[in-house]
Amino acid sequence: MVKKILLALSFSVLISGFAQAQHEAEASHETHAESEEFNMGEMIMHHVLDAHEWEFAHGLTLHLPVILYSEPHGLDVFSSAHLYENGGTYGPYSMHHEKITLTDDHEAKVWDFSITKNVASLLLSAIILLLVFTAVLKGYKKNVGKAPSGLQSLMEPVITTIRDEVVKPNIGPKYEAYLPYLLTLFFFILVNNLMGLTPGAANLTGNIAVTASMALITFVIVHFKANKNYWMHIVAPPGVPGWLMPLFWIIEIIGVLMKPASLAIRLFANITGGHIIILSFIGIIFLFKNYAVGGGVWLIGSMMSLIEILVAFIQAYIFTLLSSMYIGSAIEEHHDH
């Protein structure tokens, strides 16, 4: 069953890659009709960065709500269509590279609480996860004492693998308290990684703010649940001479801060890098404007998309594995070691 689903995903990526290339070709033809050169960097950044609208394909755009607060104007709520259709200005506001400021005072603080493309994608992925795991829960209640069926049979091997091969070995006997968080972490990252590979999707897990937020949650859990042994290893490492303690404190503090940084940057860099590579291959088609080159590049780009599916699983697995290791090292008792 899993092999069939992976095969279907692979074909869908091939088809979606071709569809995305077609959409980009149409956009390029219309936008640059007047002998304007194709700007690959602008195209890539448009797809990788966040925005106040969600462009699924050329001509198919969802304008998201803009929610702003500023001292002079208070709370303002309006559609992002007003900004995009009026050259980036609407009322007292101006937008430049997706940053909204006051037209008459660019230094004034404008608090932007808008539902951007990434926020909308996050909400969509949360709904998908709720629907999937509600169905899985119903399956468990229905098939008590029976073999799993339907969606339950697909999800159960993944859940048990994360539990038995990742969480249990790294956290130990107290793993059950942290299992819900780590499973949520794994499936949230996986779903958003896969969603990011579809044409017109948001680059949620390629946003450093999102990956840093997940890393920060792990950091807080680690240091709120850490036991005496963990803190003593940082404050007073055994066997270290007193005169070397200040140097070891600096090293330990750097090590403590590097753990969440490595979580955030690894996921962000791998996902964003993969997207940039695939978009670069698509951009080459429009630079050369040659069917032979386009066909070869499309084939390579499709193969890269298949690799990105594997990367989506690997990065979700690594983030969960490292989080488990960090939590386990913080709650490990001396006799467990």
The 10s digit of each residue's pLDDT in 193-219 is 999 988 888 899 999 999 999 999 999
Helix (H, G, I), strand (E, B) or coil at 100: strand
- Compute the mean pLDDT over every residue in the chain, rounded to the nearest whole number: 83
* Residue 49 exposure: Cα atoms within 13 Å on the Cβ side: 11
Q: Does the pLDDT of residue 249 top 60, yes or no? A: yes
Q: What is the pLDDT of residue 252?
A: 86
Question: Which residue in 6, 44, 3 sits closest to 286, CA to CA?
Answer: 44
**E strand residue ranges, the chain:** 53-57, 60-63, 65-70, 74-79, 89-90, 93-96, 99-102, 110-112
Could you tell me which residue, 14 or 76, shows the higher pLDDT? 76
Query: What pLDDT score does 23 carry?
Result: 43
Q: What percent of the chain has pLDDT over 70?
A: 88
Chain segment 162-189, per-residue pLDDT in tens: 999 999 999 988 999 999 999 999 999 9
pLDDT the model gives residue 299? 84
Cβ(173)–Cβ(158) under 8 Å?
A: no
Lookup: tokens for 160: 């048990």
The rounded distance, in Å, linking the Cα atoms of 175 and 169 is: 9
First to last CA, the chain: 40
Mean pLDDT of 271-279: 88
pLDDT at 292: 72
Which of 91-95, 142-146, 249-253 is predicted least confidently?
142-146
pTM of the model: 0.82
Sign of CA dihedral 170, 172, 178, 183: positive
Each residue's pLDDT tens digit, 311-336: 999 999 999 999 999 999 999 876 54
User: Residue 337 above 50 pLDDT?
Assistant: no
